[in-house]
Amino acid sequence: MSAQLLAVRNQRALFVAVVIGAVALAVSLASLALLLDAAWALVIGAVYIAVLTISFVGAVLLYAAWRLLDPKRLVFLSSTRGASLDVRFKRSVMSFDNHGRLPGDSSAAALRAQVANWAGTLPHHIDVRAQNSRVADLYAKQFPELTPEAPDAFGRVQMSGQHIR
């Protein structure tokens, strides 16, 4: 959940949407307080905020459960439990997903290195696909035999060459 809150803070458009939503909520509660009783406006505001909070927490928990129960996905946690990395398999394509780390945790690099060593022990050829060019640069460092190609329409970068160790 902290990673998603950081994503809201770090993505300008999402942050602006959250701020506009908070201002709209404040304006609507103020107008309700003028039209109705102030106590009713507080009750409506509290119910609205509770529903939003429960929905947000529920969505995060459902997403985490879906990640852990997906049969084509392995979820790796660092020894400090402060970083996670998902490895997805689709046919002969292996992609790393959901690089996450808690603020202040420094175990993400070690986790990526351990997963790269593990991927090297797999007995068959694997094509690696990165989510974007920044992640592709990370993969190129960890898998020197792979080189990034041009991104597709969605920004994903296919790593050319076969990963064989």
Burial of 112 per CB tally in 10 Å (0-12, 13-18, 19+) = buried
Say whether pLDDT at 3 is over 70.
Answer: no
CATH class of 73-162: alpha beta
If you search the block for the tokens 């459902």, which residue do you land on?
62
Residue spans of the domains in the chain: they are 3-69, 73-162
Whether the model clears a pTM of 0.85, i.e. scores above it, the answer is no
Note the pLDDT of residue 7. 64
What backbone phi and psi angles, to 5 degrees, belong to 4? -70, -35
For the chain, what is the largest distance between any 2 Cα atoms, rounded to a whole number of angstroms?
70
- Reported as type and span, the H/E element at residue 95 is strand 93-101
> 3-12, 74-83, 126-135, 139-148: lowest mean pLDDT where?
3-12
* 8-62 pLDDT, tens digit each: 666 777 778 878 888 888 888 888 888 888 788 888 888 888 898 899 889 888 9
* 89-132 pLDDT, tens digit each: 877 777 777 667 777 778 877 887 788 777 777 766 666 777 77
